Amino acid sequence: MAAARYREYVLDLKSRIEALHAEPERFQTYELAMELLAKQNLISYSLKKQRGVSDSLFYRRDTATGQGVQMQQETAYKLFSGFLGLGEFFAATGRTDGLNEEAFAERLTRNWQYPSCAVHLSYRKKGSERSTSMKMLFIGLNGEADATTYENGMDDLTLLVQQRPYSSAVLWEWK
């Protein structure tokens, strides 16, 4: 069975994240945590508003050396915006087959050839009775041809979501 494509989903996600950045006052609460793994660098981006108090953290860590540095929000956001603007996406099921984090990342990114991004977004707009949340791990690809190459090179397609909407104990589409 072929892996599910997530381009439209990611475009919708990107517009929701942009709305959060443009008008944070429209949200009663929110939590946005994104981790982008590209070229052996981990970029972390975290925004949170709870009980009227906002908090944020943005940093980059070199996975080879372990050294990290804080980043400006704008710089970090441009990297995530670039990822979310790629041409096609697959989503991981979260199944690690017992691999440690680094081995799992190398497997999904094909030895750092493809970027991956974990996104957890939860929010409640002012006046809304319920919260909305999602938590997914995406592999970013340049377009259709790149996606076909990635998919054909996968030795275990069960690591990628095959049927949508996807939901497991650790990852889920909008709920």
Q: Which residue has the higher pLDDT, 107 or 153?
A: 153
* Other C-beta atoms lying within 10 Å of the C-beta of residue 95: 15
Q: Which of 60, 78, 132, 139 is nearest to 106 (CA)?
A: 139
Residue-wise pLDDT tens digits, 32-42: 999 999 988 99
Residue-wise pLDDT tens digits, 22-31: 999 999 999 9
Task: Return the pLDDT at 155.
Answer: 82
Region 33-56: mean pLDDT is 93
Task: Return the pLDDT at 100.
Answer: 79
